[in-house]
Every structure is written in C-alpha cells, then in structure tokens.
Structure 1
Amino acid sequence: MGSKRKKRKADDNCSPENSRDVDSPDSDSSMDEDKYKVFKIDNYCRQYPEDGGNFEYIVIYESTDTRPLGDRDLMSLGACLKRQSKGIKRFKRINKYKVGAIFERPGLANIALNNTKVQKDLHVKATIPATLTEITGVIKNVPIYMSNKSIYNGISSSRDVVSVRRFMRRSRDEDGNTSFLPTQSVAITFACPTLPTNVHINSWYFEVSAYTPPVTQCLKCLRYGHIGKFCKNTQRCSICGENHHFKDCTKNSTEAVCLHCNGNHIAISAECPIKKKKIQENKIKHKTVPFSSLFNEKSFPSLNTKTKPTDNINTLLQNDDFLKLIIASVIKIISVNKTDDSPLNSEGIKNIILDTFKISSTNTN
C-alpha cells in the first residue's frame, strides 16, 4: 500500500521535467545528437491508394547506371516496359535522366513499382512523385525537449504519418560559430494527398496548417529550381559571380555583386529582389485558395437575370472536365470515409473537393 501511495504522489507532482522521463523513453531528456534528426518510418514505399480518384497514375523511371536514359533507345525501352508491365497508356520524357510511364489504374502502377526484376534488368529504378501521394503540414507549440521519434510515437491522426521533422533555427555566437537550435514548429508528412485539419499528440490537440517549402536555389551555379547535388552547371561565386568557389574569392562581402540583380549583396541573400519575388511566387503557388478563385470568368458562362439557375446547372453538367473533378472528389470522399476512424464532417468533405480542384488547376497551368 505504501509503495502505491508513493507512486501516486510522484505522479501528482507533474512538471515538464518529470513528464520528460515518462513521455520520452528514447532519451528525450538527454542531448542525444539524433534527437532532432528527421524521423522516417521504416520500410516505407510510396504507393497509390486503390481509391485515389486520379485519372492517370505516373511511375518515374530513372537510370541507375552512368548512362542517362536520354542516351538510350527510348522506343526499345518503352517496348520492354510494356511487355513486362500491364496497363501502360503512354510514356513521356521528363528529362534526359528520367522518363514517365502513365498507367490506367493505381494497382497496376503499384505492381510496376514493386517489379524489381524488370528494374534490375533495364538498369532503372521506379518511383512515384511525392506530390501525388504525400502532403506535409505544420504544427506549432510542440515542446522542444520532445524528439522527432517521441512526437511520432505520440501522434494520433486520421492519416498515416510518414515522417516528422522539427524546424531548426540558425544561430551564431560571439565568435562567429554557427549552430542550429530547435524551434517549437514541427513538419509532419502524411501518406495521403489531402491535409488533415488536426492531429493529437499524447491527447493534446494541434491544428495542422499548410506547409510552404522554401525556394530552391543551387549553391553551385546559384540558379533557382534545383540543388547542387544534381547540378551539371559551372561553379559560380556567390560574392562576385565569377567561375570559382566563394571560399576562393578575393573580395569580401562589402564588395559583393549579386549575380541576379547586380545589387550590393551576395547572390543567396534574402535581400535580393529576385529572391524576394521567387519567395512570393512560392507562397502563392502553395497557398490554399477558395473554390471560387480556381476559375476565371471565362471558365463558365456568367449568370444573368435572363438565365434560369437550372440552365446554368445543366451547362456545368455538360462540361466533361467539371464532371470528372466531381467524380474524383466523390471517390476520395468514399475512400476517406472507409479508412478513417473518425466520422467525415462537412469541413473534411470541403477540403477534399478543394484539394481535387486545386490539383487539377495546378496540372492545367
């Protein structure tokens, strides 16, 4: 009896310090170097859901040897893939390293993804774009003593969680040494194309907001849209713009000339007006927009007093693209309702419809 009372007393004396030992068996209370490492679930492979609601399913094939796919006989490659994989509607060249195969059904695309023998024989690897099967959201006010792993272990969500990553803030001390400090914002990637409105961590409610990825800029050639790992361009200096590494530059930062705007700053500076424009465009691109703003005035006939409401509805129903989007939304709603533990509400249905029309609008552009 005495031991039980003592245990209850310890439990009643709850504080953040005490709760760390309870909630964090993976050494959250220690300064483990892997504490803030991106946590990803083991053996995860992207696949299309059977009731995805898309009209075509693309599988990306990339060369695994030194020779780019663009240097091969693409006609022979396509013929081999069609012999070994069912349901391929057509192919398209993405770049000289990648080609895409569009499948009729999600199950056939998933089979092609898992056909390692064909990939080995043809010296290619198969993947599907993350944007078609995953989505990332952000939650805030997560205690910094929690590791990414303990956050994942404590998450309860209507969607499967793929990875957890805490945002880190760059900091410099008086000696100029750089370190990264944890923030209370955490990015969560879900294995679905629609973002849930909330998650629970250890029974605490967290609202999920849309994630806007940073602008991609190559640190080798300093251009936008790719990273240095895949860059084949010439090295450029971020200080003077010449063909050498910035560490070999004889000029200091006060003499910098931006490669993009000729301003007095380095080419990767956030003060660059070109970069500011790219950041603004990126925010607009990933912003969740109202349903009405997905279309312009030319998309559908305007309403007028001489036209009956039923006439406008009939016009919409005769539009094949509009009907396809409605059907895709219904399929997604049915799929989510089957797989989710929580009942589907009007807000969830609205988000699915908005997401379907937003994806369609992005693909059209």
Structure 2
Amino acid sequence: MLYLKFRRYPENSNKKDYIVFLNHNKENTAFTDKDRMALSKGLREHGVSGVMHLRSLNKFKVGITFYLPNNANMFLQNKKLLDQLSLRASIPIFSLIGSFSKVITVRRFMRRMRGDGGAAVQFQPTQAVAVTFASTNLREHVYLDSWRHECMRYGHIAKFFRNSEVCSISTEGHNFRQCNVDPKNAKCLNCNGNHIAISSSCP
C-alpha cells in the first residue's frame, strides 16, 4: 500500500474520520506494548487533541484516527513528539484520492533492481500506481491532491494557507529564485529525496 508522507488532509473535507499511520524510523521495527504506552503518554503530554481512537494495524504500524482534519494535520507536524518517540507519520494515499466510487486500495508498482557484484536485490518505486475501486465500472480518471506553490505541500487551498514560503530546492524559507543551492543537491520537502519538491520523480 502506498502512503503519502508529509501530505495534509484538506481542511474543508467532510470525511467522518482522519487516520494517520505511524511507523518506527528504523525499518521493520515492531511496536511493543512499551512503545504503545509511550505513544499514549506522549499524546497526553503534548496536548494532542481530537483523537478518536488509537489501534494497532499490524506489528509494524499503528493508526491514530482523528475527528477533524486540522487535528490530524497538526499531529503530522508535531516534530517534537515524533522525534521523541523515533516515529514517522504518514497519510494513506487512498484518503486523498477523490472519486465517485469508493477507493479500496492503492498500490505503487515497484521495479526489481539487482545490485552490482551480487549485491542484494532492491525494489525501486515507479511512477505507475494501481487503484482498486468498489465498483464494476472502471473510472476514466481520478482527482489527485494538488500542491501549493508557496509551501510545496498538499491538501489545502490557497485561502487556508498559513505557512511561510518554502523553497522547492533547499526547503528553506525563501523563494526558489533566491536559492544558492545547486538543483543537483536538492532536497524534497515531501519525501526527503534528492530532487526538487515539484519533481515528477517524487514517489
């Protein structure tokens, strides 16, 4: 399943609930009872509001469901709490795809890559995504979340923009025209990859 890191829920959304997925920063690290207790304690200590419920999705992932989109978005930006618990937060992509038919799953196709000199096989994300609908009729298109020129983020419209301008090359607080960083050394605000924030190669 594909997830959108650092994306936001639309603030004018009328969904009934808003889920945020949590994983450990270290890949394939399971959640223990101690981790879940630390998370519950952290939510209280940091005054995280609007939590509907918290539940384990599998041994590597926990989901926090919020009542309102701004509650979920504020939690996504709570870097202090996430760093304290060594966790990363993300929104599942099916929560941000618009369609008249219910979206069941979204999966990105991966390309199998064999390393040099007998190195382990790796999987590289491609630009192709499979969307499964709860319908017998195939839709011609879906509506994806659009990004904002000022902050390079997704999930809100211009009138709800409250953040300062962000450079699409360096992620610093200035316009890209004033940036001294070589685009070859760019850092994506959405996935931390080595490309500008508006690159079509962003997974």
Larger Rg: 1
Q: Which structure shows the bigger proportion of residues in strand conformation?
A: 2
Q: Which structure shows the bigger proportion of residues in helix conformation?
A: 1
